[in-house]
Amino acid sequence: MTIQKFEQIKSSIVSATKKRDMAEGAKQKIVESWQKDYSITSQEEVESKLSELESEIEKDKNQRDKLMVKLDGITDWSQL
């Protein structure tokens, strides 16, 4: 192994270590945000919360659609 190859490998290791550390820091900030905003701490809890929120959104859309049908029934749009 040449000195150049050794230095290249060493540089790659240092670069990968820095990237890993940055990713860990970003991950920690995300987890802290989850804890603060939603009181959850794991990926499984995130997926559960996401499913719950998607269900709420669907219910809200259905309610909106029902109210729009009702509004259309009692409103003469040509008079507006």
Q: What share of the chain is helix, strand, coil (3-state, %, to 5)?
A: 90, 0, 10
- Please tell me whether the overall predicted TM-score, pTM, comes out greater than 0.75 for this model: no
Q: Cα–Cα distance between 57 and 55 in angstroms, integer?
A: 5
Number of domains into which the chain is organized: 1
pLDDT of residue 80 exceeding 80, the answer is no
* Residue 58, domain extent: 42-73
CA 51 and chain centroid, separation: 12
Residue 1 is assigned to a structural domain of this protein? no
Nearest to 41 by CA among 28, 52, 60, 50: 28
Residue 67 is assigned to a structural domain of this protein? yes
Which letter, b or e, does each residue of 33-64 get, where b requires 16 or more Cβ atoms within 10 Å of its Cβ? Answer: ebeeeeeeeeeeeeeeeeeeeeeeeeeeeeee
Give the per-residue pLDDT at 79. Answer: 77
Q: What is the pLDDT of residues 10-66, one digit of tens each?
A: 999 999 999 999 999 999 999 899 899 888 888 898 899 899 999 999 999 999 999
Give the per-residue pLDDT at 52. Answer: 92
Residue 20 is assigned to a structural domain of this protein? no
